[in-house]
Amino acid sequence: MNTNLAQTLATSNVAEVVVPCPELDQTLSFFVEQLGFRIEMITPADNPNMAIISGYGIRLCLRTGGSGKDIVLRLHSVDRTAQTLQAPNGTTIEITNPNIGVELPELCESLIVTSLNSEASWTIGRAGMRYRDLIPSRLGGVFIASHIHIPNGGPVPDYVHYHRIKFQMIYCKSGWVRVVYEDQGEPFVMNAGDCVLQPPEIRHRVLESSDDLEVIEIGAPAEHETFAEHQITLPTAQLRPDRDFSGQRFVRHIASESPWQPWRYAGFEARNTGIDAATLGYASAMTIRAKKTATMSENKHQHQLMFMFMLSGSAKFAVDNQPDPLVVSSGSSLTLPSSCSYRLEIVSDSTEMLVVEVD
Ligand SMILES: [Fe+2]
């Protein structure tokens, strides 16, 4: 073993991933010159067939004898353009730039009605949490809405984490849940009717829930990354309710402290969660209540997402003047495409809905 290699390997607790290549020269040049890796060791001097390189928090051992085509290397760099490259040895290089904002895929609208009947499909997630998908098509990958049920309360096995998202809110339908958010003070309890807007990348943790907690969670994009946070512990020392997270403020809406106010249709009243102000008009969420026989009808809308969840009561729902309206009741959800004209006639007392619009 030559001295350099011995010195390199004498450093304690280092590791390399072996990346095979048919030849060393071209592949090594690519990693060093195009990607900015640094050479740590190369051997043998007269006709090299192995090199250890480092960069992006990883060490690679480029070694002749084989192809690297089955290997995908993901590099995260704030200085580089997000792109996918092919190294001379066949290895795929995926470069992402975490400073580039979250981009949403192209919206693919459709009318989606779900109901909470015996055929409602629940899937079992981690720790016994039950999930019901309220937008199975995901509108082309743009939005996800889930009805989440935790049957057995107690401490929640969560850790401080954050999401790369453009929009995310959680509405407590029934039961209670104790949560804590970065720079928003001590942990607090969300009760039925309360909701939070989780702005992009806010650190948070779910601590504890009641039995039979039910929440509605809505987010964009439908598939997003969740990162574990290892540095920041919660609660944080500072209280910064006006902190800007990528153009949004955190919202804690407490239903019992929020007055009912007239809504845009006669016979309806709304509790505004404040998400419209906190997102500068990008999204809004309201709890709506209506008297029996009140009717709302709308001819097309302008939003990317128009979503309603029936919290209680029931209504007759018809699109495009269909003669046979559908009865939607507690637990049903409606996702309405912008082209659709619809009519919703409240047919029972104590009807309440969550209405969420995202532009
Ligand atoms: Fe989360």
Decide: 345 and 291 in contact? Cβ < 8 Å: no
Q: How many angstroms does the Cα of residue 263 sit away from the middle of ligand 1?
A: 31
Q: What is the pLDDT of residues 84-130, one digit of tens each?
A: 999 999 999 999 887 777 889 999 999 999 988 777 688 987 667 89
Q: How many angstroms does the Cα of residue 223 sit away from the middle of ligand 1?
A: 13
Q: What is the pLDDT of residues 184-226, one digit of tens each?
A: 999 999 999 999 999 999 999 999 999 999 999 999 999 998 8
Q: How many angstroms does the Cα of residue 82 sit away from the middle of ligand 1?
A: 26
Q: What is the pLDDT of residues 119-176, one digit of tens each?
A: 768 898 766 789 999 999 999 999 999 999 999 999 988 899 999 999 999 999 999 9
Q: Is the pLDDT of residue 63 over 60?
A: yes
Q: How many angstroms does the Cα of residue 203 sit away from the middle of ligand 1?
A: 8
Q: How many angstroms does the Cα of residue 51 sit away from the middle of ligand 1?
A: 41
Decide: 193 and 172 in contact? Cβ < 8 Å: yes
Query: Rounded to whole angstroms, how far apart are CA atoms 270 and 301?
Result: 19
Query: Rounded to whole angstroms, how far apart are CA atoms 122 and 124?
Result: 7
- Give the per-residue pLDDT at 101: 76
Query: Rounded to whole angstroms, how far apart are CA atoms 292 and 271?
Result: 18
- Across the chain, mean pLDDT equals 91
Higher pLDDT, 58 or 157: 58
Q: How many angstroms does the Cα of residue 68 sit away from the middle of ligand 1?
A: 36
- Give the per-residue pLDDT at 299: 80
Nearest by Cα to 31 from 65, 4, 47, 54:
54
Q: How many angstroms does the Cα of residue 189 sit away from the middle of ligand 1?
A: 16
Amino acid type, 254: I
Q: What is the 3-state secondary structure (H, E, C) of the chain?
A: CCHHHHHHHHCCCCCCEEEEECCCHHHHHHHHHHCCCEEEEEECCCCCCEEEEEECCEEEEEEECCCCCCCEEEEECCCCCCEEEECCCCCEEEEECCCCCCCCCCCCCCCEEECCCCCCCEEECHHHCEEEECCCCCCCCCCEEEEEEECCCEECCCCCEEEECCEEEEEEEECCEEEEECCECCCEEECCCCEEECCCCCCEEEEEECCCEEEEEEEECCCCEEEECCCCCCCCCCECCCCCECCECCEEECHHHCCCEECCCCCEEEEECCHHHHCCCCEEEEEEEECCCCEEEEECCCCCEEEEEEEECEEEEEECCCCCCEEEECCCEEECCCCCEEEEEECCCCEEEEEEEEC
Q: Is the pLDDT of residue 7 over 70?
A: no
Q: Is the pLDDT of residue 1 over 60?
A: no
